[in-house]
Amino acid sequence: MSPLPPFAAVVLAGGRSARLGGQPKPQLDVGGRTMLAAVLGALEGAEQRIVVGPPQPVPDGVVLVREAPPGGGPVPALAAGLAAVAAGTEVVAVLAADLPFVTRGLVDQLRRRLDGDGVLVVDETGRDQLLLGVWRTASLRVAAAGARPHAPLRGVLAPLTVARHRPVVAAGELAPWTDCDTPAELARARTAAVGRLPGPAAG
């Protein structure tokens, strides 16, 4: 198997978390680590890891940038993250910061399946997970250029040629696209994480 090309990673870690009492969602603990730490762990192979959002703790070597305007939604956040990606980086993974069950194995699956402009995960209902994908950096930069704050991310990505990947989820496991938007979802994730040891999934 030929080696995968180098890649950068952009993690969108903004949002007000109104339904979680206004707490910084990426910093909420699931299974003994923050959700942001879980996502960054799945991206350890990246040459750059860039977090976009308000000031918050990040590990050494991770770049923290802010979208303009602050709170302008995922499209300005994506543009800010891409601006921090080094010139010449051909591939970029783009993930949300509230995916406590995403794994490095899944990121590698996406990298292997990259064809055209990008590849993203499709959930069990057939819905595109727009913030769980791997992209050609140049294509994504063109798509995000000039987009207005609060523009729908789906519309920005619509012109791109995108492949879909439906990962296999083991019985009894929560899917890697499981996010935590409500107190009930957060409680469910914490219950599922009890006794689990973080580790890469099979590629």
Q: Which is higher by pLDDT, 149 or 15?
A: 149
pLDDT, one tens digit per residue, over 134-178 is 999 999 999 998 888 889 999 999 999 999 999 988 877 888 998
Whether residue 202 is predicted with pLDDT greater than 60 in this model: the reply is no
Q: CA 156 to CA 142: how far, in whole Å?
A: 10
Strand, helix or coil for residue 33: strand
Whether residue 203 is predicted with pLDDT greater than 80 in this model: the reply is no
Into which CATH architecture does domain 8-193 fall?
A: Alpha-Beta Complex (3.90)
pLDDT, one tens digit per residue, over 27-44 is 888 888 899 999 999 999
Whether residue 115 is predicted with pLDDT greater than 60 in this model: the reply is yes
Residue 25's pLDDT is 83
Q: Which is higher by pLDDT, 126 or 200?
A: 126
pLDDT, one tens digit per residue, over 75-114 is 999 999 999 999 999 999 999 999 999 999 999 999 999 9
Number of helices (H), then strands (E), belonging to the chain: the values are 6, 9
First to last CA, the chain: 12
Residue 71's pLDDT is 87
pLDDT, one tens digit per residue, over 40-71 is 999 999 999 999 999 999 999 999 999 999 88
Helix, strand, coil percentages in the chain from 3-state DSSP, rounded to 5: 30, 20, 50
Q: CA 57 to CA 179: how far, in whole Å?
A: 20
The pair of structure tokens assigned to 4 is: 């995968």
Torsion of CA 175, 2, 90, 160, to 10 degrees: -60
Whether residue 197 is predicted with pLDDT greater than 70 in this model: the reply is no
199: pLDDT confidence band, cut at 50, 70 and 90? very low
- 44: how many CB neighbours lie within 10 A of its CB? 12
The pair of structure tokens assigned to 14 is: 């903004």
Q: CA 76 to CA 65: how far, in whole Å?
A: 11
Residue 196's pLDDT is 60
Determine which of 18-32, 62-76, 109-123, 189-203 has the lowest per-residue pLDDT on average: 189-203
